Chain A
């Protein structure tokens, strides 16, 4: 469904992705693991066209989107929960969710209801300003906002960062639930252990290059992966 072919991405003179090829198939949970600065966020954002790939091709649902403008890509069934959440802090929970469903008005009410079912906390905080909510609540809001567009592929960049274990478990449960509903998931996680257990497949990214690709199970028991990312 999503395929990257020899994708390079630059920030000025810095080459953050050095020829990445990978694919995500419909209904899968695919995870990307790698050290800080390996280029995980860059990879996810390059799929969204922000930053744009400097060479290579990105194909989404059989269409080349390498040069497509970001807003248009994001209207074609993709949604992202970016690093750092990026909720609109001066706006209420309701307004943030409404922003997520901005361009897709069909079944708006149903989707709103669905998101509030997934995150009852957001319902309680419906008219609270996002900026005054706790980190975990903001993370739920960022996920809820992404779900408001009813995406086929949900891209998540470290959804558990900085959260208490109990909230992390909740977030993983929700990811699993979304998979059950048929949403495809492309996930970057610091918490590689938990991510690999959940994932169908995983890729290991090192210095902007994919160095390993396997099923989640195999990566979990892989000696090198254990040493480098799972704490031995």
Chain B
């Protein structure tokens, strides 16, 4: 195989890695939108908080002398999921639920306010500088000639992709098979009717926020370890990327969020690999503008239905 093919495959692998995490975060946007028709702009902040929590837990476990990385990462992820879920749940109760019957724009402003509040709250609590973490999982699979052209897939990349696949499979099973998952799908179509069947829509809405926050926490743990740094602003950029992914795939559609995440990750990584890394973020936002202009329903989305 020639050099250029190795290089191309490497970019794709990198893109799928990042794209997986975008997809995980995008689920939170798309599910909430599907059910209550609003963009939860504070979702990126939940991801950011999830990243901090896992950093804190990992640092704590290292200090306590733990050395099994799998147990450490597993614990960090679990604690992060629990705390991020609590945030997701509380954000909905405090900032959105009281506004449920008011205009969409008002809830949107509340969401942006919540986002600013959380960002600054973490900035005050943790400082605004980068916090770095030594990489716990090193090494990877090397394909090709170590001294010449080769592809390097790090173990961390493998962990990210495998964990994402497990989460997405779990989510798909939950949505398609479980009682609550069915109630979520029904609510996405007609939440008033689910109420008329005796199902408390507050529980369904709370469930979507908890699922979204949990997946954001998983993404936070993984991406935090991959990049090795966190600061109070990572939620803004990751949130925007994941939002782009959700819109690209078709907001409201769960498979769409998965697809959109992967597509965005790969486009970014190809741009970085063949042009310049500086244009990476430009890709995401140009893409967002283009889709909103020419294909607002996204790839797998339904034509826009006005939500109340």
Chain B binding surface, main DSSP class: helix
CB of A125 within 8 A of chain B?
Answer: no
Determine, out of B130-138, B147-155, B161-169, B190-198, the stretch whose residues face the partner at the interface. B190-198
Per-residue 0/1 for A59-77: is the Cβ within 8 Å of any B Cβ (1 yes, 0 no)?
0000000000111101100
CB of B103 within 8 A of chain A?
Answer: no
Separation in Å of the A126 CB from the closest CB of chain B? 15
Q: Using Cβ atoms and an 8 Å threshold, which residues of chain B touch A90?
A: 185, 189
Known contacts A50-B192, A102-B179; is-contact A91 B186 (Cβ 8 Å):
yes
Contact B186 A71 (CB under 8 A): no
B178-221 contacts to A, CB under 8 A, are: 179, 182-183, 185-186, 189-190, 192-201
Among B179, B185, B192, contact of A91 (Cβ-Cβ < 8 Å): B185
CB of A48 within 8 A of chain B?
Answer: yes
Q: Using Cβ atoms and an 8 Å threshold, which residues of chain A touch B199?
A: 71, 99, 102-103
Contact B182 A80 (CB under 8 A): no
B69-89 contacts to A, CB under 8 A, are: none
Among A70, A89, A91, A95, contact of B196 (Cβ-Cβ < 8 Å): A70
Among B189, B190, B195, contact of A70 (Cβ-Cβ < 8 Å): B195
Contact B200 A88 (CB under 8 A): no
Among B179, B182, B196, B200, contact of A82 (Cβ-Cβ < 8 Å): B196
Residue of A whose beta carbon sits closest to that of B200: A71
Residue of B whose beta carbon sits closest to that of A89: B189
Among B179, B185, B190, contact of A86 (Cβ-Cβ < 8 Å): B190
CB of A98 within 8 A of chain B?
Answer: yes
CB of A183 within 8 A of chain B?
Answer: no
Measured in the bound complex, the distance between the Cα atoms of B202 and A71 in whole Å is: 10
Known contacts A90-B185, A95-B182; is-contact A102 B193 (Cβ 8 Å):
no
Known contacts A71-B200, A74-B198; is-contact A82 B183 (Cβ 8 Å):
no
Contact A99 B195 (CB under 8 A): no
A71-115 contacts to B, CB under 8 A, are: 71-72, 74-75, 79-80, 82, 86, 88-91, 95, 98-100, 102-104
Contact A145 B197 (CB under 8 A): yes
Contact A102 B183 (CB under 8 A): yes
Measured in the bound complex, the distance between the Cα atoms of B192 and A54 in whole Å is: 19
Known contacts A74-B198, A75-B198; is-contact A99 B189 (Cβ 8 Å):
no
Contact B183 A99 (CB under 8 A): yes
Residue of A whose beta carbon sits closest to that of B203: A71
Q: Using Cβ atoms and an 8 Å threshold, which residues of chain A touch B192?
A: 50, 86
CB of A139 within 8 A of chain B?
Answer: no
Separation in Å of the B302 CB from the closest CB of chain A? 9
Known contacts A98-B182, A99-B183, A102-B183; is-contact A88 B198 (Cβ 8 Å):
no
Contact B198 A102 (CB under 8 A): yes
Most B CB within 10 A of own CB, among A80, A82, A88: A88
Separation in Å of the A99 CB from the closest CB of chain B? 5
Separation in Å of the B188 CB from the closest CB of chain A? 8
B89-107 contacts to A, CB under 8 A, are: none
Residue of B whose beta carbon sits closest to that of A148: B197
Measured in the bound complex, the distance between the Cα atoms of B192 and A208 in whole Å is: 23
Most A CB within 10 A of own CB, among B189, B198, B199: B198
Contact B196 A99 (CB under 8 A): no
Among A69, A72, A149, contact of B197 (Cβ-Cβ < 8 Å): A149
B253-298 contacts to A, CB under 8 A, are: none
Known contacts A91-B185, A91-B186, A102-B183; is-contact A86 B193 (Cβ 8 Å):
yes
Residue of B whose beta carbon sits closest to that of A100: B197
A1-53 contacts to B, CB under 8 A, are: 48, 50
Known contacts A86-B190, A86-B193, A88-B190; is-contact A103 B198 (Cβ 8 Å):
yes
Measured in the bound complex, the distance between the Cα atoms of B186 and A102 in whole Å is: 11
Would you list the 10 A-B pairs with minimal beta carbon distance, nearest first? A74-B198, A75-B198, A71-B200, A103-B198, A86-B193, A70-B195, A88-B186, A71-B195, A88-B189, A99-B186
Residues of A whose CB lies within 8 Å of any CB of B are 48, 50, 69-72, 74-75, 79-80, 82, 86, 88-91, 95, 98-100, 102-104, 145, 149
Pairs A–B under 8 Å by Cβ, sample size 22: A50-B192, A50-B196, A70-B195, A71-B198, A71-B200, A72-B198, A74-B195, A74-B198, A82-B193, A86-B193, A88-B189, A90-B185, A90-B189, A91-B182, A91-B185, A99-B194, A102-B183, A102-B197, A102-B198, A103-B197, A103-B199, A145-B197
